[in-house]
Amino acid sequence: MHPSTVRREAERVKVSVRVRPLNDRENNTAEGAKVTVAAKQAAAVVTVKFMGGTSNSCPAESGAARRVTQDFQFDHVFWSLETPDACGATPATQADVFRTIGYPLVQHAFDGFNSCLFAYGQTGSGKTYTMMGADVSALSGEGSGVTPRICLEIFARKASVEAQGHSRWIVEPGYVEVYNERVSDLLGKRKKGAKGGIEEVYVDVREHPSRGVFLEGQRLVEVGSLDDVVRLIEAGNSVRHTASTKMNDRSSRSHAIIMLLLREERTMTTKGGETIRTAGKSSRMNLVDLAGSERVAQSQVEGQQFKEATHINLSLTTLGRVIDVLADMATKGAKTQYSVPPFRDSKLTFILKDSLGGNSKTFMVATVSPSALNYEETLSTLRYASRARDIVNVAQVNEDPRARRIRELEEQMEDMRQAMAGGDPAYVSELKKKLALLESEAQKCAADLQALEREREHNQVQERLLRATEAEKSELESRAAALQEEMTATRQQADKMQALNLRLKEEQARKERELLKEMAKKDAALSKVRRRKDAEIASEREKLESTVAQLEREQREREVALDALQTHQRKLQEALESSERTAAERDQLLQQLTELQSERAQLSQVVSDRERLTRDLQRIQSEYGETELARDAALCAAQEMEARYHAAVFHLQTLLELATEWEDALRERALAERDEAAAAELDAAASTSENARESTSKLLTSVEQQLRDSETRAAELKAELEATAAAKTSVEQEREKTRTALEGRAAELARKLEATASAKNLVEQDRERTRATLEERLRIAEVRAAELAGVLEATAAAKTAVEQERERTRAALEQQLRESEARAAELAAQLEAAAAAKTSVEQERENTRATLEERLRLAEVRAAELAARLKSTAAVKSAMEQDRENTRAT
């Protein structure tokens, strides 16, 4: 029996180049429409032509770099422009690319080899199109990329292999991205962040001596069809970082890696009919869509996109350095100056460590733009791709030695079964014995392998439990630390609340002092304003009283002057009437003068008549004097009644002023003390004032009645005077009739006429002077009355203004008092709220302290339990490792 050896294959990295068509931006410019790349797909040669005078022409170089054209040899070239290539070959399609590089990857995966395919090139050169397809959201159809076609071929091959019944294959895809030098699991279960966003699920890159580089914590999902894979890829694409730049509408801002893990599970049936399941081959396929290198000056990114471009360029630079070192190590061997490639300088190169110079069959697709605008980037990409061709990987089949031994035994048994058909009986008998031995050995190996698989599964379960325990321990430790921090924060918060409580108390005391000071100031100001207003009111009252007294005096003087004026007017009227009568008599006497001259002879007879007339005249004069005395008495009575009327009015005004003073005093007293008794007293005073007004009204009514009686009496006296005057007139008429008989009166009457004329002139002059004087005095009295009326109106307006000002002041003081009371109530409420808040904070602090102490105690108990479990797990693990070592040695 020959010992089983691991199958190893040394192989270069297979490099392909794909030249994309010109895009609209390049076709719209004269320089961009120039094609600088030519290809020969059959010979796998790419030629770059130097277009002189372009803005992106390469800088001055030495040696061969100055050549007008440069040729690069690759494994495959895909010409995707619409025109044929230099040899006339048709443009390559997505299916052509898959048949060339995708199909071999599937074959290697089922052979047990790790494999890798990554797309390299500048941004916008067609990497994502090659890997995923035209529409990232639709991964099926004619334009689908290499990745969905590989998945479809894997499931077709899986169905074909499983149809034979000897084994089954398990497919587990994963999807990660390298964004800003952090690896994020795109299939991980995400939670909503604190600010409403989606939290990233980061994983760590680890390296195991036998497993190689792996991602700790990565989520792998077992799938059964292409639709499941497409659904997972679409879910990952929905959270992948992409953005629009000037170079590309959908520029990848991260390196995306789709990982496909394939595991074979073989079955064997023993003679007893028992089915033994053993592990077979396994492989891992990495499909890498690198973010494109970009010049910031061309893409014109800024802010977060500038940071992303910086990380992308740094990781691609590290990838270029790794390629250079590996190429030198493959071509120069020990002569190279490098010893260790810088895989750990970037997360991307660390993940691709096995794919570059390690245990993997690697394919590289370099995508370039044919436009002269991208001459430098295209040349740089081709150089790196050409260097990558020199890297040599040593791939080995990933298969357990026992499983490999079982597979080799099965192959030998199959060969023996074929050899037994139609062979020599002795030889067939010997082959049957060997076949039985091989079957028993294979079954024993299968049983041992199954036991080892179970043990390995158990160990894996234990390891997972251990990792879970360690994770739980770390989580508990972090929670304990968080609880400790929370307790510290709670203590700090309690201290802050205590300090805040002290500040609140101090603030409360300060506000109380300020409120008391403010209330004292307001009380002092209120008292001061009240005293000032009382003084002003008293002063105004005194002024009003003096003004009213002066007005009353002037009113009395005016009434006296008016009475005198009326008396004088009556006298003037009487004098005028007498003058008119005298003038009439003079006219008659002048007319009768001639008659009297003819009657001189009758004087003797007239003498007796004169004596009789003299007696009658004396009698009439005596009666006239009595009438004058009666009239004077009536006038005196009327003046007395008028004086009593003015006295009553003055008494009424005095009562009204006293009532007003009582009412103001009681109202101020009710306002200051808010005493209901004062309000009742004010009502009583108001009723008393109303009664005084009613009595005064009655008194005025009686006085007016007396005045009306006096006026009636004066009218009667006037009628009597008029009757007396009529009697006098009749007597004078009678005298005029009898005077014709008096001859002796002629001379005397002539003298009387002359005296009467002179007296009339004097009376008229006196009347004119008196009239002018009276008119002047009347005008002065009217002016004075108008002035007094204006003063009265101004005084009334001033009194009204003073009362309004007093009302406003009282309202303002009441408002200030209400505001002070409200402020005091508010401060009291604040004090109560602060006290309640302090109480609640203290209660909450006590509750929090008790809760934290309980949680800390539980955490300590849990930590002790975990420590015990860790010790027991470590002991179990040590025992398992010893058993495994013993088993391996066996």
Which residues line the annotated binding site for ATP? 121-128
Give the Cα separation of 204 and 218 in Å (integer): 8
**Residue positions in the annotated binding site?**
121-128
Residue reference for tokens 């499941």: 228
Q: Which of 364, 370, 371 is nearest to 386 (CA)?
A: 364
Angle at 160 between CA 157 and CA 161, to 5 degrees: 85
Give the Cα separation of 802 and 671 in Å (integer): 17
Phi, psi angle pair for 361, to nearest 5°: -100, 115
Give the Cα separation of 279 and 464 in Å (integer): 20
8-state DSSP, 142: T
CB contact set of 74 (below 8 Å; sequence gap of 6+): 15, 16, 17, 44, 45, 46, 366, 385, 386, 389
Residue reference for tokens 């995508």: 367
Q: Both tokens of residue 705?
A: 């009645």
Other Cβ atoms closer than 10 A to 242:
16
Q: Which of 167, 177, 261, 147 is nearest to 211 (CA)?
A: 261
Q: Could you tell me if 552 and 650 are in contact, meaning their C-beta atoms sit under 8 angstroms apart?
A: yes
Give the Cα separation of 153 and 160 in Å (integer): 11
Q: Which long-range contacts (CB under 8 A, 24 or more apart) does 881-886 make?
A: 883/455, 884/455, 884/459
Q: Both tokens of residue 19?
A: 């030249």
Give the Cα separation of 588 and 80 in Å (integer): 160
Other Cβ atoms closer than 10 A to 355:
27
Give the Cα separation of 669 and 564 in Å (integer): 49
Secondary structure of 781-844 in HEC code, one letter for each residue: HHHHHHHHHHHHHHHHHHHHHHHHHHHHHHHHHHHHHHHHHHHHHHHHHHHHHHHHHHHHHHHH
Surface-to-core class of residue 200, CB atoms within 10 Å of its CB (0-12 exposed, 13-18 middle, 19+ buried): middle
Give the Cα separation of 588 and 584 in Å (integer): 6
Q: Could you tell me if 190 and 108 are in contact, meaning their C-beta atoms sit under 8 angstroms apart?
A: no
Q: CA torsion, points 559, 561, 565, 566, in degrees to nearest 10?
A: 20
Q: Which one-letter amino acid corresponds to residue 301?
A: V
14-19 and 361-368 beta bridge pairing: parallel
Q: Both tokens of residue 790?
A: 């204006």
Q: Which residues pair with 15 in a beta bridge?
A: 364
Q: Could you tell me if 545 and 657 are in contact, meaning their C-beta atoms sit under 8 angstroms apart?
A: yes
Q: Which of 660, 659, 681, 661 is nearest to 670 (CA)?
A: 681
**Rg over CA atoms, the chain:** 68
* Strand extents, DSSP E, 145-236: 167-179, 182-185, 204-208, 212-216
Phi, psi angle pair for 265, to nearest 5°: -125, 110
Residue reference for tokens 């006293």: 658
Give the Cα separation of 230 and 144 in Å (integer): 11
Phi, psi angle pair for 165, to nearest 5°: 85, 0
Q: Could you tell me if 544 and 795 are in contact, meaning their C-beta atoms sit under 8 angstroms apart?
A: yes
Surface-to-core class of residue 721, CB atoms within 10 Å of its CB (0-12 exposed, 13-18 middle, 19+ buried): middle
Helix (H, G, I), strand (E, B) or coil at 115: strand
